[in-house]
Amino acid sequence: MTSAASGSDLAAAPLGIICGGGAFPFAVAESAVRDGRKVVLLPLRGYADPDAVTRSGLPAEWLSLGAVGAAIATLRRYGCRQVVMLGYVFRPRLLSLRPDWTMLRVLPRFVAALRGGDDHLLSRVGGFFEEQGFQLVGAHEIAPDLLLPAGQLGRVAMRPSDAEDARIGLDLVRTLGPFDVGQGVVVAERHVQAVEAAEGTDLMLERCGHLRAIGRVRLPARTGVLVKAPKPGQDRRLDLPSVGLKTIEGAAAAGLAGVAVEAGGVMAVDAAEMIRLADEIGLFIVGLDS
């Protein structure tokens, strides 16, 4: 059997989507269904939106976060060959897990994986599913239409100073990559205002707005750029950065001029609506060539 035939066989089998929180699991599922794929959802209790699962109309098997054996058994029962892991899941405390017997057998591996950054943890989880015979695929491979392209995406253009801030931000994300730090930064007038850490993009933007409100950072309105990009060397099948309506609202509340992303490296569920909102508010959205 040729590798091309193997790939075709894999794509013909149902796709399993392990669903954390947020809208991305369902947007990717919709894209796969439009392409003629059968899709099975494995929503995680406490993270996936029950209403969104119901609205999808797709077969779904709810799982607890520590039910690794149940996840594998479910994927095999439905004949899934490829798996996508999507949506936010907060880094668990061991006492919060409800491990099944399979999880208990490999618990030392996951305990070791918790001693590191998110990329370290996610790569170990993804590697375990591959050891069980599944092919781990990225959301961008299933739904490339959700990736933001290069260029100006709305009516508002960057100023030269914005473009300079955006390039500094992109360089900073690349420089911090080996330390497994977050995928977003805020740069204003060539000054790094914030780096995304465990709080995530939304809370980082809130922090930026607070610093301006209390006078700790003094800048004119509509100054500064939120930059989002994958970390260098990151496995793009896991934790690809994303933006959405809340990102635009947060950037506006923080007093920023706009949002710049690495073209082809950042996803958006509702890109058209996001661009419409940015135009309405007066913010730019730009895809930067990597």
Number of domains in the chain: 2
Instruction: Report the distance separating Cα 236 and Cα 139, nearest Å.
Output: 9
Q: Flag residues of the chain having pLDDT under 70.
A: 1-8, 91-124
Of 142, 160, 191, which residue sits at a domain end?
142
Same domain, 138 and 7: yes
The parent domain of residue 91 ranges over 3-142
Tokens of 99: 């491990």
Of 107, 142, 177, which residue sits at a domain end?
142
3-state secondary structure of 62: coil
Same domain, 201 and 176: yes
The CATH number given to whatever domain includes residue 168 is 3.40.140.80
Contact 222, 158 (CB under 8 A): no
Of 114, 142, 170, which residue sits at a domain end?
142
How distant is the alpha carbon of residue 242 from its chain centre?
A: 5
Same domain, 151 and 280: yes
- What amino acid is encoded at 176 in this protein? L
Residues across the chain: 290
Tell me what pLDDT residue 11 has.
73
108-158 per-position pLDDT tens digit: 666 555 555 555 556 667 778 888 899 999 999 999 999 999 999 999 999
Same domain, 179 and 273: yes
The CATH number given to whatever domain includes residue 37 is 3.40.50.20
Same domain, 136 and 22: yes
Q: What is the pTM of this model?
A: 0.83
Please state, for a pLDDT cut of 70, what percent of the chain lies above it: 85
Same domain, 190 and 257: yes
The CA–CA distances, whole Å, from 285 to 12, 105, 116, 207 equal 36, 47, 33, 21
Contact 223, 284 (CB under 8 A): no
Same domain, 13 and 56: yes
Contacts of residue 157, defined as CB under 8 A and 6 or more positions apart, other chains included, come to 284
Same domain, 126 and 196: no
Contact 85, 65 (CB under 8 A): no
Same domain, 155 and 284: yes
